[in-house]
Amino acid sequence: MKTVFSILLCVTFFASAQQKDWENPNVNQINRLPATATFYSYENSALAKSNKREQSKFYKSLNGDWKFNWVAKPADASMDFQDNNFDASKWKTIDVPSNWEMRGYGIPIYTNSVYPFFSDFPYINHHDNPVGHYIKTVNIDDSWKEKDVILHFGGVSSAFYVWVNGVFVGYSEDTRLPSEFDITEHIKKGENKIAVKVYRWSDGSYLEAQDHWRMSGIEREVYLKAVPKVRLSDFAIRTGLDENYNNALLEIRPEFIANIEDKYIKKVGHFGGNPLKTTIDDWTLSTQLLDAKGKEVGDKNVMKLEKYFGEWYPQRDNVKFGLITTEVKSPRKWSSDDPYLYTLLFTLKDVNGNPIQHTSTKVGFREVKINELGQFLVNGNPVKMIGVNRHDHHMVNGKTVSRADMEKDVQLIKKFNFNAVRTSHYPNDPYFYDLCDTYGLYVMDEANLETHGTRGQLSNVPEWSNTYLERAVRMVERDKNHPSIVMWSLGNESGTGPNHAAMAGWIKDFDPTRYIHYEGAQGNPKDNKEKTYYDPDISAPIDRPWVDVISRMYPHPDEFQNLIDKSKSDGRPVILCEYAHSMGNSTGNMKKYWDVIYKNDRAIGGYIWDWIDQGILQKDKNGKEFLAYGGDFGDTPNSGSFCINGIIASDRTPKPEIYECKKVNQPAVISETDALKGKFKILNRHHATDLSKYTLEWTLTENGIIIQKGMLPSLSTKPYNTEEININFKKPKLKAGKEYFINFKGKLKENTLWENKGYVVFEDQFQLNYSVPLVNSITGKSSLIVSENDTSIAIKNDSLLIQIDKTSGYINFYKSKGITLLESPLKLNFWRAETENDKAYRKALKLSEERIWMKAGDLIAIKDIAVNSNEKGKVIIDVKGQIKNPKTAVNLVYTILGSGEIKVDYNVIIAENAPNVPRMGMTFDVSNTYKDISYFGKGPQSNYQDRNYGAKIGLFSGDAQTMSYDYVYPQEYGNHTDIRWFKIKNKSGKGLLISGEEVLNFSVIPYGLQNLQEATHTNQLIDRDVLSVNIDLKQQGIGGDDTWTKRAQPHEEYRIKPGTYKYSFYLVPFSSEIKENKIRF
């Protein structure tokens, strides 16, 4: 047996030796330094305190132009470009950091789960693996002479070799974490050449099958740093709080590297007796904690290095974590509500007391805990993770995101009332965590691990265990000191296996202060039945014991509640690591999800999928800009527009969906006790601060116009408490046709990092239940003449002409007081341009039959038209018709006044066996000169019946373009619900008022319905000289629990099922502004 094992070992070793590094899971790095926390060395403590690395003479950025050459496959790669005498003068330049596909080399590829290369792990197709060659020249002066020099790459996709001055330095994989190399022996004073060879694909790519653009190159920053020969090389910090969460124990575990006289001093330790002595035992490291104003907190600590180099390791248990400890009395604690940071200064001194190294880091005092109720506590307070999934993306630069854009993201996340982010699905640039520390966001830091294309196979292969573990270890080691990080995630959609268990085991032992997440950790390893645990509606969840939270993706809210109920005995918190798939016009049902979350202690929140549309800015052959997605670059395979699912656009502007999130997320909620008496109460959902940071303003509006207003005294509502509030308003003089609302707005009292004073953080609205009879507002009695022929009916007088087509029963001409109001017939409309959710659920449920409604409005067969002109100044046209398929009875009644107004009574009866209807309403075209729009109803952003909680009833105005939102993939958009009336007018003030007998839905769209239905990109939308005006009783909801199964369908209560539907509206032409907008006659 031993002989066989030896032979197998030799064969394995030989095979490994023959493999390319970039096809060998046993070779993930050569000479790469271990991961450490991110920090920089400075000349003095003042610079260290400010911690602006650009001010340190020991930091040198290598960002900028590099010489560059690209080849399509490894066989074409240069073998000598790294040599000092290689002539690269004819090479082009490329900016670093960047992705070479975004600079014209090769093509970006978007896939969700399928590998973009032939899958034969760990091997890569040698004929389809582009290689990029980079060269940079850098000058080094005497100031770095006595230093060690470290070369830092923030992120390179996906594998690369490095040379300095012609000498091989190292190799590394793992696109999303830094790689550092000690180049001290290879650097020289003066000009130095750094050469890098990057491979697009490697064996590491099998672990990087995330749902995003696959791009290549040096995509994160590159720099050099000079460090002392004897140095603080790393440190870990813990900030445990006492049982009352009052006082803290600051614990610090420093690590050192010592290179003296060409000798490397190791940490020798001992097993008892006297520890071995080193030449630097009497060197010291001092630490000092400073508050945000720079004031010293507590005593300065001084530790001799012998405490580290001679540390005793016991036979059982482990060493004490804190080599340096400081008791801190009543520190101001860090939370998302109050992200207060201290500064910890480090000073390393030699035996003579000379300062050798200065550095610093930020410290936030906070403690996370899961209690017996399954609540997630921060500093003892239950917290809900109101989160987003965030990918690195820029519409011009691809996976390279600037510091300014990272900060823009964090500001927007805070601005729209989120408090958490999941770094889906890989570690971010260290600066992003600095921002989260500073602004206050709870971070789920996720390992760069997704094997979607092979499902969970690699998670069960021992040969890959080191790679799995390495990706966890390096992430945790780098990010361990950020207070914003409250959970570690083992990756995404990689099945489950022992390799994950190894990751979890290491993290739990190394960092007992945080919790572990992994959604894939479902099922019982002892269970040999078919695994169905991926399904979020599972009734009896069994998750691996090495995860601390039960995590699921994309359940229906009812399934989510079922999961919570059925897993009650488990006791662990339940979280949605992905939900509310925001692809296209989507993100319905948000309030329903959060009703579940707020109702259940163990439901600790969720992360929307996802933050930003991953569109790439392009121009077509006519120079027209559009946003590209999968397949637009000839990339095969691809996942199409599945990357366009953010709640902000690719240019980082808010989409309509995010306003629904803002409302659902708001940190304070007002409810009415007795609105007519001005009695309300306010709930504070903050977990760490009261409401004194806000001013609370109120207004009383009459049809959207403010008629009274006031401001409440300063609020002091404590976290999770309610407070009674009273407003002193006078009952207005009630007017017919008017509606009255009390509106509250909670505004920032002071400027914050993320928004200025006066920004509205939360708002609520209450309709006052005043009953005011509505009188007829139009009584014009101008005479009308009715004439008929075989094809039409005409109703006219000196200032009016209306024609009704006898074939369709539709009004096809409408001119009043010289104004032409219709450019196409006012006709039935049962269809909307399909949203991506519409397409998804119709495919999943095989409901293509719903598309029969697309042309149904054009298929009406008239059975009878009755004309009643007995009353002076009024004509009533009663149209009865039938749509054969789907069987639908139609009754349209037009009441026409001599003064030009029309009332439309709509009555449709749909047969029981007909498919559901996307839309119930009417539509017509009007000249695009009537582009000025005002309305009284829900706005200002577009909204739908399952996404209108964040819209408020008010008086809004705009034009057809500013009120529109062009989705990257064209589809239905621009709807508004609860509309009392809306007006369209031209520059001269002439136009048409549409007023509902009951509330309406409406939209005004620049593009044709067929164009919206068929276009796949915005540059295919055709500008017209007309606008489409939609007057709807309702639309079905937009759904979006996911965008690929039945869960994409709107929930039951938001569907339009066969049955009887009635509504009425008024068309009122005007040549000058009219006073009354709520019309009756």
pLDDT at 919 (0 to 100)? 98
Q: List, for residues 236-249, the tens digit of each pLDDT value.
A: 999 999 999 999 99
Long-range contacts, stretch 865-868, CB < 8 angstroms, 24+ apart: 865/793, 865/804, 865/806, 865/809, 867/786, 867/788, 867/793
Q: List, for residues 707-753, the tens digit of each pLDDT value.
A: 999 999 889 999 999 999 999 999 999 998 899 999 999 999 999 99
Sheet holding 819-820, edge to edge: 785-788, 792-797, 800-805, 811-816, 819-820
Per annotation, catalytic residue among 367, 470, 578, 823: 578
pLDDT at 483 (0 to 100)? 99
What are φ and ψ of residue 982, in 5° steps?
Answer: -145, 155
Q: Which two tokens stand for residue 570?
A: 């488990």
Q: List, for residues 407-416, the tens digit of each pLDDT value.
A: 999 999 999 9
Q: Tokens 């130095």 label which residue?
A: 192
Asked whether 571 and 372 are in contact (CB, 8 A), the reply is yes
Task: Write the CA distances from 553 to 198, 405, 456, 852, 902, integer angstroms.
Answer: 35, 28, 17, 33, 50
CB atoms within 10 A of CB 1010: 13
pLDDT at 13 over 50: no
Helices (H) and strands (E) counted in the chain, each on its own, are 12, 60
pLDDT at 1078 (0 to 100)? 72
SS3 labels along 255-269: EEEEEECCEEECCCC
pLDDT at 4 (0 to 100)? 39
Helical (H) or strand (E) element with 132 = strand 131-140
Q: What percent of the chain has pLDDT over 90?
A: 89
Per annotation, catalytic residue among 493, 519, 559, 763: 493
Distance CA 634, CA 499 (A): 36
Query: Closest Cα partner for 220 from 467, 24, 478, 439?
Result: 478
Distance CA 456, CA 443 (A): 25
Distance CA 853, CA 833 (A): 11
pLDDT at 361 (0 to 100)? 99
Q: How many CA atoms lie within 13 A of 437 on its CB side?
A: 19
Distance CA 600, CA 561 (A): 9
Distance CA 609, CA 589 (A): 14
Pairing outcome for strands 420-422 and 442-446: parallel
Q: Which two tokens stand for residue 890?
A: 């139609």
pLDDT at 5 over 60: no
**Average pLDDT for 633-638:** 94
724 in catalytic set: no
Q: List, for residues 951-985, the tens digit of each pLDDT value.
A: 999 999 999 888 889 999 999 999 999 999 999 99
Identify the burial level of 364 via C-beta atoms within 10 angstroms of its C-beta, where 0-12 means exposed, 13-18 middle and 19 or more buried: buried
pLDDT at 780 over 90: no
Q: Tokens 């399904």 label which residue?
A: 535
Distance CA 1081, CA 1071 (A): 20
At 659, the amino acid letter reads Y
pLDDT at 778 over 90: no
**Average pLDDT for 124-128:** 96
In angstroms, the first-to-last Cα distance of the chain is 99
pLDDT at 1045 over 60: yes
Distance CA 882, CA 914 (A): 14
CB atoms within 10 A of CB 426: 26
pLDDT at 929 (0 to 100)? 96
Asked whether 1029 and 997 are in contact (CB, 8 A), the reply is no
Q: List, for residues 475-504, the tens digit of each pLDDT value.
A: 999 999 999 999 999 999 999 999 999 999
CB atoms within 10 A of CB 872: 10
Measured over the CA atoms of residue 464, residue 470, residue 472 and residue 475, the dihedral's sign is: negative
At 36, the amino acid letter reads T
Q: List, for residues 586-624, the tens digit of each pLDDT value.
A: 999 999 999 999 999 999 999 999 999 999 999 999 999
Q: With bands split at pLDDT 50, 70 and 90, how would you rate the model's confidence at 259?
A: confident
CB atoms within 10 A of CB 858: 13
Helical (H) or strand (E) element with 999 = strand 991-1005
Q: Tokens 């690269």 label which residue?
A: 88
Three-state secondary structure call for residue 284: strand
CB atoms within 10 A of CB 460: 14
pLDDT at 15 (0 to 100)? 44
Cis peptide before 425 (omega within 30 of 0): yes
CB atoms within 10 A of CB 552: 25
Residue ranges of alpha helices (H) inside 256-329 are 306-309
Residue ranges of alpha helices (H) inside 567-650 are 590-599
**Average pLDDT for 679-697:** 98
| Residue of higher predicted confidence among 773 and 1044 | 1044
| Residue of higher predicted confidence among 1072 and 363 | 363
SS3 labels along 132-164: EEEEEEEEECHHHCCCEEEEEECCEECEEEEEE
* Spacing of C-alpha 179 from chain mean position: 27
Distance CA 147, CA 1056 (A): 73
What are φ and ψ of residue 858, in 5° steps?
Answer: -90, 0
Q: Which two tokens stand for residue 269?
A: 């330790």
- Which DSSP state fits 944? B
* Spacing of C-alpha 766 from chain mean position: 31
pLDDT at 273 (0 to 100)? 52
pLDDT at 532 over 60: no
Average pLDDT score over the chain: 94
Q: Which two tokens stand for residue 870?
A: 């007995």
Query: Buried b vs exposed e over 953-988: b needs ≥16 C-beta within 10 Å?
Result: bbbbebebeebbbbbbbbbbbbbbbbbbbbbbbeee
Asked whether 1001 and 1032 are in contact (CB, 8 A), the reply is yes
pLDDT at 961 (0 to 100)? 82
Q: List, for residues 338-390, the tens digit of each pLDDT value.
A: 999 999 999 999 999 999 999 999 999 999 999 999 999 999 999 999 999 99
Domains of the chain: residue spans and CATH: 11-30+62-227 (2.60.120.260), 230-368 (2.60.40.10), 384-614+644-662 (3.20.20.80), 666-767 (2.60.40.10), 828-860+892-1070 (2.70.98.10)
Q: With bands split at pLDDT 50, 70 and 90, how would you rate the model's confidence at 1077?
A: confident
Task: Write the CA distances from 632 to 112, 230, 987, integer angstroms.
Answer: 15, 53, 40
Pairing outcome for strands 574-579 and 550-553: parallel
pLDDT at 386 (0 to 100)? 99
Q: With bands split at pLDDT 50, 70 and 90, how would you rate the model's confidence at 269?
A: low
- Which DSSP state fits 243? T
Q: How many CA atoms lie within 13 A of 155 on its CB side?
A: 21
Query: Closest Cα partner for 1031 from 829, 813, 794, 770?
Result: 829
pLDDT at 2 (0 to 100)? 42
pLDDT at 535 (0 to 100)? 54
Pairing outcome for strands 156-157 and 190-199: unpaired
**Average pLDDT for 18-32:** 95
Count the residues in the chain. 1081
Q: List, for residues 646-656, the tens digit of each pLDDT value.
A: 999 999 999 99
CB atoms within 10 A of CB 807: 13
Q: How many CA atoms lie within 13 A of 407 on its CB side?
A: 9
SS3 labels along 102-123: HHCCCCCEEECCCCCCCCECCE
578 in catalytic set: yes
Query: Closest Cα partner for 449 from 385, 515, 399, 520?
Result: 520
Asked whether 929 and 823 are in contact (CB, 8 A), the reply is no
Query: Closest Cα partner for 300 from 279, 282, 318, 286?
Result: 286
User: What Rg, from alpha-carbon coordinates, does the chain have?
Assistant: 34
**Average pLDDT for 927-935:** 96
Distance CA 738, CA 701 (A): 10
Q: Tokens 């050449």 label which residue?
A: 193
Strand boundaries in 789-884, DSSP class E: 792-797, 800-805, 811-816, 819-820, 827-829, 860-868, 874-883
